[in-house]
Structure 1
């Protein structure tokens, strides 16, 4: 029953709007789509995304200084257009006659509509900074209990998918009453993933990398405030936790 509940909760997470605030920057450097994504992840948060109409309008406001066609965080890695933050797209403002048969998307400098292009082409791009507030909850819950609490009282369990969010989390957990603190990282269907849908790029595991086949009772991840690393824990363990607000 517990496993079924977890699966249902995880499925419901995808497509939820985040309260994160995004600020977009036009980067006047020529890079392939993959190079642009890596640059953004190193220096900002990610290539720019806008998953609903409100975010789209904010993005277009920030894009007023665009001087050339520019990559955004939208690609088609396996036949389906997805944002680099994990969401499957539902409505995309393609220009007339688009998309064609390529796999990466860019914003046309004149029409402000989306086109697709071969990902190996070089062009300018948009990066985004994502601002969220991390909240330390000094209440002990199971991983699922923490997830439910965060979703009810705040936004979600914290997904520490960037060095900036990790640094922010480390500054907050000093007041934790438990050594380990739940975060939004879960093993399910053969792999670890952030419940936000963000790619698992950052590696702060206590071992060399994510446990490939953790024991059945070690499939939820927590942040160890002593070693400042992620570690697999029993999902039923009662721990403090971090929420995104």
Structure 2
């Protein structure tokens, strides 16, 4: 499947509570409210398959979430079906050691909005990021409910994405194909050095502009004003399964387990 049928597009729009007339800006926000950023498959022993049909079946059919390759890979299918021109871009995530990760560390989207001529950076797969797409051709500050963002050029022709002055990732401008991300995705899913194999996370934007996150058994709710509540859930499968279902819309038959 390289493109969505009209029936698949309609099902995807229902999945995120949108319609074919919903503006790109709102599609971006609604996707993050409805579809969690999560790495549960790694801890459930499930393969992460970077093929359009498999991504669609997981995100829309199974009503799951995923991480960047899955979320932005699938969102690209929806945007293209709605008439937007979409390119996949490779990015290197900025780490705590002030270094950037390897190429294909992250997948983001360059989107030319249909009928508008504007060029956007769309990214529904970075966990806690901008609620709305960012203007890719704007070099000044871009206020967003999730912070103040800025895109800055580098001497090598790449683009740095910053949030509240802190680098988030370095974006290449050369278009890529989904299979290009396969080797790094495999490493992220299997390497003991990958933070995805070392920790368990499920997080989504809330409709009120806050965020809810379940990391292992720690449930954290953050309101739009920054107030935060944290709760340690009991190590009880029924309680954890209910949290995934009620907080994130994910219905599992068993709980994923983080490394000991």
| TM class, shorter-length | under 0.3
Q: Which has the higher helix share?
A: 2
- TM-score where L is the length of structure 2: 0.26
Q: TM-score, normalised by structure 1?
A: 0.27
More strand as a share of residues: 1
